[in-house]
Amino acid sequence: MRKPRLMTPGPAPVPEEVLLELARPVIHHRSAEAKVVMTEVTAGLKDVFRTKNDVMILTASGTGAMEAAVVNTVPPGGKAIVLNAGYFSNRWVSVCKAYGINAVSLDTEWGHPVDPEQVANALKLHPDAACVMGTLSETSTGTGHPVEAIGKIVAGTDAVFAVDGISGIGAMECQTDAWGVDILCVGSQKALMLPPGLAFISVSEKAWAKIDAFESRSFYFNLKMARKKAKEFDTPFTPAHTLILALRASLRMILAEGIENVWERHRRMSEGCQEGIKALGLELFSARPAEGLTAFRVPAGLKDSDIRNGLVKKFGITTVGGQDKLKGHIIRIGHMGYTDELDVISGLAALEMVLSDLGFEVEPGQAVTAAQRVFIGPTSAVAR
Ligand SMILES: *Cc1c(COP(=O)(O)O)cnc(C)c1O
């Protein structure tokens, strides 16, 4: 028997309270009971996203929210600026292409944060861009981007700022309104502690003005239609209502802990994991690590698949490798959502043992000790 341990940056572990909701009888999505649930989850999502803007629930994976942002804010033949720094941010370019939108790709070396100065310059060069599309946490490289600084720049222009917060929300601080994020895209299966299947999108007044200016080319992802229904705590089509019940349970857990405390827990887990990796003599991949996952380079002479297969076979731990050009070069450990310091410690302990099996020189406890040093201290959960 191997106890399954999901240490991937999405899907991520789901707590029992949330899983149990999925076993309840299906209720009708237009019933009074469903409206009560929709009212509570809409308020909860706004609280977690730190926004007063409209928030809509889509039955789709996270990419559905990205597609909704693109097709509704940029008119046919229009222009967008994509802050392209990884596999997921490049998806903005692909979605733009699918709708005949001219995507100006502002490329940043993978593993590095976007430079806000470059965004300012790009906006000067392309004042006709309707939307700037960026990422809070680039999951392919494990990098957090300076959304606050970029938001301030975009706010001074006619463009709207759309942020892919799919793996960031619930793991990293995001002050949607205060930071000028006009459109926030979120998915259920990352730090929000749910199975895959729901996407969330928040839309500011500035973004609605763009959206209202032309006819949506998408039927399913028509945000004008979604807004109309959301005002009545409803959705245009049958939502994955079972997942919405589960969402209520996960939001209750997040809000009971307090979103600031949730961010702080992720900061600690991230720091502990980074220190553990460095203590093994391994190299972090990102110059500015995101808080929901840690990416590190595969040490010379070892194969990423041997390490990851060892973790699965010996300890039931699932991690992920690199995507696209990073395939074989990095390993990514998720620590988002329903995870704590002990998950990080056990992940590091397993990594020590697997690396040791593969002939990599490891002193048992080396990484674990480094993580514990981070977790012992004034900010640890116990001390609070
Ligand atoms: C997971 C992820 C996506 C893709 O989400 P899907 O739910 O698979 O559509 C997009 N962007 C980021 C940053 C992600 O982490």
Query: What does the DSSP assignment read for 208-277?
Result: HHHHHTS--S-STT-HHHHHHHHHTT--SS---HHHHHHHHHHHHHHHHH-HHHHHHHHHHHHHHHHHHH
DSSP E strands: which ranges in 60-190? 79-84, 102-107, 129-135, 137-138, 143-144, 160-164, 183-187
Q: Is the pLDDT of residue 384 over 50?
A: no
Q: Is the pLDDT of residue 215 over 80?
A: yes
- Let me know: does 289 contact 278? Beta carbons within 8 Å: no
pLDDT at site 2: 86
Q: Is the pLDDT of residue 382 over 70?
A: no
pLDDT at site 383: 43
Q: Is the pLDDT of residue 381 over 70?
A: no
Q: Is 271 in the pocket of ligand 1 (CB under 6 A)?
A: no
Q: Is 51 in the pocket of ligand 1 (CB under 6 A)?
A: no
Q: Is 61 in the pocket of ligand 1 (CB under 6 A)?
A: yes
Question: Whole-number mean pLDDT of the chain?
Answer: 97
* % pLDDT > 90, the chain: 97
Q: How distant is the alpha carbon of residue 205 from its chain centre?
A: 24
Q: Which atom of ligand 1 is nearest to the CA of 139?
A: 15
Q: Model confidence over 107-137: pLDDT tens digits?
A: 999 999 999 999 999 999 999 999 999 999 9
Q: For the residues 192-203, what does the mean pLDDT come to?
A: 98
Q: Judging by beta carbons within 10 Å of its beta carbon (0-12, 13-18, 19+), is residue 316 exposed, middle or buried?
A: middle
Q: Which atom of ligand 1 is nearest to the CA of 187?
A: 7
Domain residue limits, the chain:
5-9+258-376, 16-257
Q: How far does residue 348's CA lie from ligand 1's centre (Å)? A: 25
pLDDT at site 226: 98
- CB atoms under 10 Å from CB of 117, counted, come to 10
Q: Is 141 in the pocket of ligand 1 (CB under 6 A)?
A: no
Q: Is 68 in the pocket of ligand 1 (CB under 6 A)?
A: no
- Where residue 281 falls (left for φ over 0; alpha for ψ -120 to 50; beta otherwise) is left
- Let me know: does 145 contact 84? Beta carbons within 8 Å: no
Q: Which atom of ligand 1 is nearest to the CA of 138?
A: 13
pLDDT at site 313: 97
Q: How far is CA 167 from CA 45, 136, 190, 316, in A?
A: 15, 8, 5, 23
Q: How far is CA 137 from CA 41, 286, 307, 352, in A?
A: 23, 11, 25, 27
Q: Which atom of ligand 1 is nearest to the CA of 196?
A: 7
Q: Is the pLDDT of residue 234 over 80?
A: yes
CA distance 306 to 313: 10
Q: Which pLDDT band, with edges at 50, 70 and 90, does 378 fall under?
A: low
Give the closest residue (by CA) to ligand 1 atom 6. 62
pLDDT at site 183: 99
Q: Report the DSSP pairing between strands 79-84 and 129-135.
A: parallel
Non-local (6+) Cβ contacts of 191 within 8 A are 12, 167, 168, 169, 170, 171, 266, 292, 336, 337
Non-local (6+) Cβ contacts of 271 within 8 A are 374
Encoded amino acid at 125, one letter: L
Q: How distant is the alpha carbon of residue 282 from its chain centre?
A: 25
pTM: predicted TM-score of the whole model, two decimal places? 0.97
Q: Which pLDDT band, with edges at 50, 70 and 90, does 377 fall under?
A: confident
Q: How far does residue 165's CA lie from ligand 1's centre (Å)? A: 9
CA distance 375 to 262: 15
pLDDT at site 90: 98
pLDDT at site 1: 77
Testing ligand 1's pocket by substitution, the residue of 8, 59, 63, 320 carrying the most ligand atoms inside 8 A of its CB is 63
Q: How far does residue 187's CA lie from ligand 1's centre (Å)? A: 7
pLDDT at site 379: 55
* % pLDDT > 70, the chain: 98
CA distance 163 to 172: 13
Structure tokens at 58: 């889509």
Q: Is 166 in the pocket of ligand 1 (CB under 6 A)?
A: yes
Q: Model confidence over 45-67: pLDDT tens digits?
A: 999 999 999 999 999 999 999 99
Q: Is 13 in the pocket of ligand 1 (CB under 6 A)?
A: no
Q: Is the pLDDT of residue 142 over 70?
A: yes
CA distance 240 to 246: 10
For the domain made up of 16-257, the CATH class stated in words is alpha beta
- Let me know: does 221 contact 72? Beta carbons within 8 Å: yes
Superfamily of domain 5-9+258-376: Aspartate Aminotransferase, domain 1 (3.90.1150.10)
Q: Is the pLDDT of residue 141 over 90?
A: yes
Q: For the residues 306-310, what does the mean pLDDT come to?
A: 98
Structure tokens at 63: 């990419």
DSSP E strands: which ranges in the chain? 5-6, 54-59, 79-84, 102-107, 129-135, 137-138, 143-144, 160-164, 183-187, 198-203, 293-297, 317-318, 320-321, 330-334
Helix, coil or strand: residue 143: strand
